[in-house]
Amino acid sequence: MQLYKQHTIKIYNSLTGEKELFTPINQDYIGMYVCGPTVYSNVHLGNVRTFMSFDMIFRYFKHLGYKVRYVRNITDAGHLENDADVGEDKITKKARLEQIEPMEVVQRYTVDFHNILNTFNFLPPSIEPTATGHIIEQIELIKTIIDNGFGYQVNGSVYFDVHKYNKTNNYGILSKRKLEDLIHNTRELDGQSDKRNPQDFALWKKAEPTHIMRWPSPWSDGFPGWHLECTAMSTKYLGEQFDIHGGGMDLKFPHHECEIAQNQAALGKAPVNYWMHANMLELNGARMSKSTGNIINPNELLSGKNDKMSQAFSPSAIRFFMMQSSYRSVLDLTNDGLLASEKGFNRLMEAIKLLQNSPTSKTSTFNVQEWTQKCYDAMNDDFNTPILIAHLFEAVKIINGLKEQKSTLTLEDLELLKHTLNAFVFDVLGLQTEGQNQEKGASKLNGTVELLIQLRQEARANKNWALSDQIRDQLLELGIKLNDGKDGTTFNI
Ligand code: AMP
Ligand code: ZN
């Protein structure tokens, strides 16, 4: 259903600093690009929050019936330490420390990223491109930027000429920084002497002999600059201009500022109509940071095995906690906050259960249509999930009153209430009932046992009877019995 035809959405555009009426470039379609993770370590909850904000936005657009192409990349090369132009590649460094291939690092943490997002019931994006899969596109972009006079080559590396660009464009348009201030505040770092000015940024870096991840280019064997991949991949899949670009607040400068500059320099246009930035997650009132140890990873929170929270929390309780604050506010993760959210989430789920067998009456004491509209109004106002949730709890009160006839609803109103509640709770906020969570767990377990059966068959084919028996016996110890038959192996749990 093309619900979107009945709704006008306002989005806070970081570029203008204002809530603006959202008008997609093509009326039925939305193109949205979100900067994905650099896959060199396990995702932390801060990352999860940013991606969850955009998952909710993606879900709402889909709910309204838009055809959304949601592109979220994987950064698997080019992102150097400290987000700078000098230093080691984050992935290469990890590979060196662990003595494995960089692509093993990429694989390990991409799998971890997907597992975590799956646990929190994320929808997969429409396209998940990688930086290393788009080296040719990045080289082509650099050529165009050089041809247009905004890039220069020094010793096999190519830099973006920020000062020249700023003469005819506004470098700082998004982050509201002024080049003069940047000049005063930039320290000249060792190794940056190749640049005409310290504010210039790398489009292509010549690889040192020890740098493993390298590709041939017209300038040197090297690797692309971090900012370039997003310009290459967003415009490849969404066009030279597209609707929405998102990411965490910390990416506004320099990453997104540089993306705009690259796009203007290569294609002569501002790439994005609406820039959206999700705010940071803190832990007990302080920045989440690996260096201070003030950090908690998703699995620690889910399992309860940590020294910061009093108990384990379910994925939906955590998701509900995150949805109770606006994506634009800083959110502080605390034990009390999570406990309160868990309670609220359970109350909501109980009301939804109760609604299945609620009595109906000839008249309604609650205006469900008006309430439905209020739910949409909240989401249409820059995806205001805390206000939406406040409205959902109005409905909870009504539902809880139906049994004792403290409130009444006609059949028609009851159906509308069910429909709206289900749509917002499950489709838009992405919450799950315990049963849905368990079903997912069961399907994972089935998949794992199938995999072990397959490995056992391979072991038998190789006459590795010891391994084949070990798999069978240890599964039996766990209460999973394998039954070998003519048509293969089945199992009982
Ligand atoms: P990274 O893998 O570091 O490039 O980060 C992936 C995404 O997570 C980016 O959009 C970051 O802005 C975002 N992010 C990083 N730390 C936090 C945090 N503490 N809270 C919310 N988002 C974060
Ligand atoms: Zn990016």
Residue 241 has pLDDT above 80, yes or no: yes
Task: Assess whether the C-beta atom of 78 lies below 6 angstroms from ligand 1.
Answer: no
d(C-alpha 324, C-alpha 424), whole Å: 13
Q: Are residues 414 and 442 in the same domain?
A: no
* Closest approach atom of ligand 1 to CA 38: 2
CATH of residue 307's domain is: 1.10.730.10
Helix (H, G, I), strand (E, B) or coil at 456: helix
In this prediction, residue 405 carries a pLDDT of: 93
pLDDT tens, 126-161?
999 999 999 999 999 999 999 999 999 999 999 999
In this prediction, residue 188 carries a pLDDT of: 55
Residue 277 has pLDDT above 60, yes or no: yes
User: Using CA of residue 185, residue 187, residue 188, residue 189, what is the dihedral sign?
Assistant: negative
Task: Assess whether the C-beta atom of 50 lies below 6 angstroms from ligand 1.
Answer: yes
Mean of pLDDT values over 79-96: 83
Q: Domain count of the chain?
A: 3
Quick one: pLDDT band at residue 192, thresholds 50, 70, 90? low
Task: Assess whether the C-beta atom of 37 lies below 6 angstroms from ligand 1.
Answer: yes
Task: Assess whether the C-beta atom of 280 lies below 6 angstroms from ligand 1.
Answer: yes
Task: Assess whether the C-beta atom of 251 lies below 6 angstroms from ligand 1.
Answer: yes
Q: Are residues 272 and 372 in the same domain?
A: no
Residue closest via CA to ligand 1's atom 7 equals: 47
Residue 487 has pLDDT above 80, yes or no: no
d(C-alpha 93, C-alpha 54), whole Å: 30
In this prediction, residue 129 carries a pLDDT of: 98
Judge whether 28 lies within some domain.
Answer: yes
Q: How far is the CA of 420 from the centre of ligand 1 (A)?
A: 32
Q: Are residues 325 and 221 in the same domain?
A: no
Which amino acid, residue 383? F
Q: Are residues 31 and 57 in the same domain?
A: yes
Phi, psi (5° rounding) for residue 176?
60, 30
Q: How many CB atoms lie within 10 A of CB 55?
A: 24
Helix (H, G, I), strand (E, B) or coil at 247: strand
**Mutation test residue for ligand 1: of 14, 40, 44, 47, the one with most atoms within 8 Å of CB:** 47
Judge whether 473 lies within some domain.
Answer: yes
CA 255 and chain centroid, separation: 17
Task: Assess whether the C-beta atom of 110 lies below 6 angstroms from ligand 1.
Answer: no
CATH of residue 212's domain is: 3.40.50.620
Residue closest via CA to ligand 1's atom 10 equals: 248
In this prediction, residue 486 carries a pLDDT of: 74
State which of 428, 443, 459 marks the end of a domain: 428
Q: Are residues 197 and 74 in the same domain?
A: yes
d(C-alpha 50, C-alpha 377), whole Å: 23
State which of 278, 298, 331 marks the end of a domain: 278
Mean of pLDDT values over 326-339: 98
Residue closest via CA to ligand 1's atom 5 equals: 37
Judge whether 303 lies within some domain.
Answer: yes
Residue 248 has pLDDT above 80, yes or no: yes
In this prediction, residue 187 carries a pLDDT of: 59
Judge whether 2 lies within some domain.
Answer: no
Judge whether 465 lies within some domain.
Answer: yes
Task: Assess whether the C-beta atom of 391 lies below 6 angstroms from ligand 1.
Answer: no
Phi-psi region of 81 (alpha: psi -120 to 50; beta: other; left: phi over 0): beta
Q: Average pLDDT, whole number, for the chain? A: 93
In this prediction, residue 275 carries a pLDDT of: 98
Residue 228 has pLDDT above 90, yes or no: yes
Q: Are residues 411 and 484 in the same domain?
A: no
Residue closest via CA to ligand 1's atom 14 equals: 47
Task: Assess whether the C-beta atom of 247 lies below 6 angstroms from ligand 1.
Answer: yes
In this prediction, residue 450 carries a pLDDT of: 84
Q: Tokens for 182?
A: 């940047």
pLDDT tens, 387-416?
999 999 999 999 999 999 999 999 999 999
Q: Are residues 246 and 338 in the same domain?
A: no
Per DSSP bridges, beta strands 481-485 and 488-492 are antiparallel
* Closest approach atom of ligand 1 to CA 247: 10
Phi, psi (5° rounding) for residue 269?
-140, 155
CB crowding 149-187: b at 16 or more within 10 Å, else e: ebbbbeebbbbbbbebbbeebebbbbbebebeebeeeee
Task: Assess whether the C-beta atom of 325 lies below 6 angstroms from ligand 1.
Answer: no
State which of 278, 300, 327 marks the end of a domain: 278
CB contact set of 449 (below 8 Å; sequence gap of 6+): 475, 480, 491, 493
Residue 183 has pLDDT above 90, yes or no: no
One DSSP character per residue, 346-368 reads HHHHHHHHHHTT----SS-SS-H
Task: Assess whether the C-beta atom of 38 lies below 6 angstroms from ligand 1.
Answer: yes
In this prediction, residue 341 carries a pLDDT of: 98
Helix (H, G, I), strand (E, B) or coil at 272: strand
Q: Are residues 24 and 163 in the same domain?
A: yes
In this prediction, residue 87 carries a pLDDT of: 78
Task: Assess whether the C-beta atom of 83 lies below 6 angstroms from ligand 1.
Answer: no
Task: Assess whether the C-beta atom of 246 lies below 6 angstroms from ligand 1.
Answer: no
pLDDT tens, 364-379?
999 999 999 999 999 9
In this prediction, residue 440 carries a pLDDT of: 65
* Closest approach atom of ligand 1 to CA 251: 12
Q: Are residues 17 and 156 in the same domain?
A: yes
Residue 193 has pLDDT above 80, yes or no: no
In this prediction, residue 92 carries a pLDDT of: 87
Q: Are residues 245 and 96 in the same domain?
A: yes
Judge whether 231 lies within some domain.
Answer: yes
Residue 218 has pLDDT above 60, yes or no: yes
Quick one: pLDDT band at residue 491, thresholds 50, 70, 90? confident
**Mutation test residue for ligand 1: of 32, 50, 120, 277, the one with most atoms within 8 Å of CB:** 50
Judge whether 1 lies within some domain.
Answer: no
Q: Are residues 399 and 321 in the same domain?
A: yes
d(C-alpha 90, C-alpha 96), whole Å: 10
Q: Are residues 227 and 356 in the same domain?
A: no
Of residues 240 and 444, more confidence is placed in: 240
Judge whether 331 lies within some domain.
Answer: yes
Mean of pLDDT values over 227-241: 97
> 478 is in which domain, residue-wise?
434-492
Of residues 116 and 89, more confidence is placed in: 116
Of residues 310 and 486, more confidence is placed in: 310
